[in-house]
Amino acid sequence: MIEENKDITSLTTFGIPARARYYAEYTSEKELLRISRDSVFIENPVLSIGGGSNLLFVNGFNGLVLRSAIKGIVRYDKDADTVFAIVGAGERWTDFVDWCLDNGLGGVENMAGIPGDVGAAPVQNVGAYGVEAKDVVHAVECFDTFTRQTRRFTAEECRFGYRDSFFKHQGKGRYIVLRVSFRLRPDLTARNLEYGPLRELRDRLGHEPTIREVAEEVKRIRDSKLPDPAETGSAGSFFKNPVLHNGYIKEIKALTGYDIPGHAVGENHTKVSAAWLIDHAGMKGARAGGARVYERQPLVIANSGNATAADVVDLAEKVRKAVRDKFMIDLSPEVNYIDTDVTVTLLGTGTSKGIPEIGCSCRVCTSPFEKDKRLRTSALVRTMGLTILIDPSPDFRAQALRAGLHHIDAVLVTHAHYDHVGGIDDLRPFCAGHDLTMFANERTCRNLRKHYDYCFSEHPYPGVPTFDLREVGRNPFYINGVKVEPIEVLHGEMPILGYRIGNFAYITDAKSVPEREVDKLEGVRVMVVNALRDRDHFSHFTLAESLALIREVNPDTAYLTHFNHEIGRHYELARRLPAGVHPGYDGLTFVVK
């Protein structure tokens, strides 16, 4: 049932070569249950895909790719105004739309021609021409990979947002869509004609358009703008339309003179046109290797025939930079980057006083060597297209500028001591369009709400950083599909958190690690751990204690962090360390496979 070294290029719409270490399809819950009990499922990253229309495999997937082949459409007539359709996740979306048209059921005609499978519709909250999946989804039936049981989510529980849902955040990686129930209307007359190009259809036809006429018009418009995946590889719209605070849009106009087109979303926000931004940034038709910005629709990055994943990533970054430089807006990809590599940058490696310490003239604090200058401890993790910050230290502004940081998807906080959270206010640029998601344990959440109350008030002062603060315990959680495992360590007697992401683990400010938490580090390939100094300290590892933990965990490579000046100069410390253990330094970047 599980295949090895599977070529999955044909399962994506980009047409870029891609392989999976393991691959399996299933046609029922029973088959999925059997797969979930296999060691391959238990011991590897798992990626559930549909039609592959929103995926970019940056590297081969070093895990298990699952694809639903659950088929079937069941019709249930509730009353004269409502019909439910229960659809298998493996049905093609276009086939489902055609079924609705053939059965005279309205509601999805505006979404005709969208590539992909039905199972992806609630996950992505797919939408087009004024209608989104949230407008017709009644419930979603899922397989819970934690409990191995089936769970039903109501539309409200799906927490739909613009191209967003619960399944892209807390639920991603845990829940696999089995079936989707849609609420449709038995009516041949189209109801949603407010989207620009469809407003003219009624006048052109001379009568109220039918659902089939709207579907045909939508497909005609799509064909005129979007490449045919059978001929030109793409993922459809590559970027999301940014949702920005109205105050920020006024600021952009004042500085650039541009009126950016968009429409109101809620009371104080506007969804602006990413296509317009890309076009007016001069990027329509831009190329990188075999990838190009599609001439007829700049939201699309197309494969000219020989594009690599690196070409697409490179071009996407060039587009984002051009838009940032001209309009001060950072575009977010709608496409999911699939990359199990974990790239880590140590933004800061110093203790609470940093190095040099103020007023100190010791040989370390006066060292001329760049690696002896240490800002306070912080790290950046990039994987699966996400950028995750660990601890906004008081030096975060300088660290972000040095790293050229333009985007953060989430923040992991180890604990609430000032040398680890003092840079919270400098996260303002990453909160312009939405609350930045932040994860911490209960004690840290309580302290953050107390000491940074202006960030968490019901009616925050305009311009302050705002956060979606989520409390975590000792159990794993997901950030848009990236599994994060908290490692509870003791900072003296205070429980704080380290974090494991894939084969990488990060621990700082620990004095001891309970045995149950050490078990979570099994199989870690690269580890970062604090080593304050040689002399004993009541709440931090000494160098000897740090090395003892490293020997117990036995990673391939370990880096030390959170030093004070007593540790000595960088090159001196490096000489003292065993093979495979290195002193970290500010700006150090490494990749964990």
Q: What is the CB neighbour count within 10 angstroms for residue 404?
A: 7
The whole model's pTM is what? 0.86
**CA gap 465, 413 in Å, rounded:** 16
Q: What is the CB neighbour count within 10 angstroms for residue 250?
A: 10
Please report the pLDDT score of residue 176 as a whole number: 96
Task: Enumerate the active-site residues.
Answer: 163, 237, 334
Please report the pLDDT score of residue 56 as a whole number: 92
Q: How far is CA 400 from CA 42, 224, 426, in A?
A: 37, 42, 9
Please report the pLDDT score of residue 194 as a whole number: 81
pLDDT tens series, the chain, 593 aa? 899 999 999 998 999 999 999 999 999 999 999 999 999 999 888 999 988 888 999 988 989 999 999 999 999 999 989 999 999 999 999 999 999 999 999 999 999 999 899 999 999 999 988 899 999 999 999 999 999 999 999 999 999 988 889 998 888 888 999 999 999 999 999 988 887 778 888 888 888 899 999 999 999 988 888 887 778 889 888 999 998 888 888 889 898 999 999 888 877 888 899 999 999 999 999 999 999 999 989 999 999 889 999 999 999 999 999 999 999 998 989 898 988 899 999 999 999 999 999 999 999 999 999 999 999 999 999 999 899 999 999 999 999 999 999 999 999 999 999 999 999 999 999 987 678 999 999 999 999 999 999 999 888 887 899 999 999 999 998 888 788 999 999 999 999 999 999 999 999 999 999 999 999 999 999 999 999 999 999 999 999 999 999 999 999 999 999 999 999 999 999 999 999 999 999 999 999 99
φ, ψ for residue 548 (rounded to 5)?
A: -65, -40
**CA gap 227, 586 in Å, rounded:** 45
Dihedral, CA atoms, 399, 400, 403, 407, nearest 10 degrees? 150
Please report the pLDDT score of residue 433 as a whole number: 66
> Which DSSP letter does residue 571 get?
H
Q: Which residue, chain included where needed, has tokens 């996950």?
A: 123
Q: Provide the edge-to-edge strand list for the sheet that holds 233-237.
A: 233-237, 300-303, 291-293, 287-288
**CA gap 270, 259 in Å, rounded:** 12
State the Cα angle at 78 between 73 and 79, rounded to 5°: 135
